[in-house]
Amino acid sequence: MGWQKNAACRDTDPELFFPASDDDTSVLVARHRIAVAPICSACPVATGCLRWALDTGQDHGLWAATTPTDRRAIRRARLAGTPDPVADTDPMCPACALLFPMPAVDGDLCSRCTERNAA
Ligand code: SF4
């Protein structure tokens, strides 16, 4: 997670990004979202943050100002073949992009699929 060293939230209270509830409809989560939005929108590593949260299945907290419900919706869309316009900006491996979004290598297969095909 090399992107973390440049995170705009690095010196911010972590509790701001981890509300006591994951209920998107609660006032508490709404307040936290409002508080983190300007931090995340100015963050230079927001894309990497969101991608990491999606790819590792983070089920708690606000990552790149997204809630767990937001991220589940993005993951469902990915599985249905719709890449996320923020997290999936890099060209994805055509062989595994839907289940394991991995950056393509020179527009070809990712290293995992290259190894799998060579075996
Ligand atoms: S996008 Fe938000 S949560 Fe992610 S590293 Fe940046 S400031 Fe932190």
Structure tokens at 76: 């469902």
CA–centroid distance, 49 to ligand 1, in Å, is 6
**Distance set, CA 88 to CA 49, 67, 68, 102, 105 (Å):** 12, 18, 18, 9, 15
Asked if 87 contacts 54 with a C-beta cutoff of 8 angstroms, the reply is: yes
The structure tokens 């509790």 sit at 15
Tens digit of each residue's pLDDT, the chain (119 residues): 688 899 999 999 999 999 999 898 999 999 999 999 999 999 999 999 998 999 889 999 999 999 999 999 998 887 777 778 888 776 666 666 555 555 555 556 666 777 777 77
Rounded to two decimals, the pTM is 0.77
CA–centroid distance, 65 to ligand 1, in Å, is 7
Q: Is the CB of 98 under 6 A from ligand 1?
A: no
CA–centroid distance, 8 to ligand 1, in Å, is 6
